């Protein structure tokens, strides 16, 4: 067997650090110190005689060789987890761990859970209210409710849309009056409040609003032109 496999522990630390792009978060997940993660990865780099990370601000960015190694290790760990899942059976009834944002948990989910509990009294439910993206591959979450498209695309998941909401742009009446707002393009000159979800961005809103404005103007011109004729 390849002698380099004696560094399997270091590869585990490397995988966590590469996934988080952060030694501290990797250490927290592995329940060890940040210094231990740093030391293990440094030993791994010395053994492989190549640099795996470079520091960029507070993040640790993978080098090209680091990206190659991470891709293969990721596949390897997924195969191991798949094998473990095949030989282990879970009971039909057990704890269900649900991850969702705090506001969604308190205002939508919790008022409705009694229906599930009434139908399945033997299944306890644990609610983990957090705004962070759930780690469905390495964490202990059975069901995740998220806003937008936060989940990893390469994870084999069953997905279902619960709610579709319309997005509106709001401003104070004083601001609207002072700028004499009449066209979506004018809003780009305002100070914009950004929401931290990629699927809800000003760029997408402006694109949709501009097309709607163009179609509205075209529709009005066409109607006027047809009446004139």
Give pLDDT, residue 208.
75
The alpha carbon dihedral of 142, 143, 147, 151 has a sign of: positive
pLDDT digits (tens, 9 = 90+) for 45-66: 988 889 999 988 878 899 999 9
Give pLDDT, residue 225.
35
**Which residues touch 77 (CB under 8 Å, ≥6 apart)?**
15
pLDDT digits (tens, 9 = 90+) for 142-155: 888 887 665 555 55
Give pLDDT, residue 52.
92
pLDDT at 213 over 70: no
Confidence category of residue 222, pLDDT binned at 50, 70, 90? very low
Q: Once rounded to an integer, what is the mean pLDDT over residues 38-51?
A: 90
pLDDT digits (tens, 9 = 90+) for 156-206: 677 788 877 777 777 778 877 887 877 767 777 777 777 666 666 777 777
Give pLDDT, residue 51.
92
Mean pLDDT check: name the lowest of 62-71, 91-100, 123-132.
91-100
How far is it, in rounded angstroms, from Cα 151 to Cα 134?
8
Distance of CA 155 to the CA centre of its chain: 12
Q: Once rounded to an integer, what is the mean pLDDT over residues 23-28?
A: 88
Q: Model-level pTM?
A: 0.42
pLDDT digits (tens, 9 = 90+) for 110-144: 888 888 888 888 788 888 888 777 776 666 788 88
Give pLDDT, residue 84.
74
Confidence category of residue 93, pLDDT binned at 50, 70, 90? low
Give the residue among 39, 38, 41, 36 at the shortest CA–CA distance from 14. 41
Give pLDDT, residue 196.
61
User: Greatest CA separation found in the chain?
Assistant: 86
How far is it, in rounded angstroms, from Cα 91 to Cα 93?
5
With beta carbons less than 8 A apart as the criterion, state whether 185 and 200 touch: no
The residue whose two tokens read 């004139």 is 228
Count how many Cα atoms sit within 13 Å of the Cα of residue 187 in the half-sphere of its side chain.
Answer: 17
Residue predicted with more confidence, 4 or 130: 130
């Amino acid at each position: 067997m390849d002698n380099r496999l004696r560094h399997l522990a270091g590869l585990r630390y490397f995988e966590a650090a590469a996934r988080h792009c952060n030694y501290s978060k990797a250490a927290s997940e592995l329940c060890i110190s940040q210094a231990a993660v740093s030391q293990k990865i440094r030993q791994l780099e010395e053994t492989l005689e190549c640099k795996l990370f470079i520091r960029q601000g507070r993040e640790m960015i993978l080098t090209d060789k680091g990206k190659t190694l991470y891709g293969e290790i990721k596949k390897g760990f997924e195969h191991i987890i798949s094998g473990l899942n095949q030989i282990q059976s879970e009971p039909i009834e057990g704890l269900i761990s649900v991850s969702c944002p705090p506001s969604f948990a308190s205002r939508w989910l919790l008022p409705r859970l009694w229906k599930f509990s009434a139908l399945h009294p033997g299944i306890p439910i644990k609610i983990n209210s957090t705004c962070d993206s759930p780690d469905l591959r390495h964490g202990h979450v059975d069901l995740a409710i998220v806003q937008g498209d936060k989940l990893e695309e390469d994870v084999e998941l069953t997905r279902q849309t619960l709610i579709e909401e319309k997005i509106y742009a709001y401003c104070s009446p004083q601001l609207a009056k002072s700028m004499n707002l009449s066209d979506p393009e004018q809003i780009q000159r305002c100070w914009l409040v950004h929401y931290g979800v990629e699927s809800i961005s000003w760029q997408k809103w402006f694109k949709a609003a501009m097309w709607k404005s163009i179609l509205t103007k075209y529709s009005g011109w066409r109607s006027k032109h047809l009446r004139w004729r």
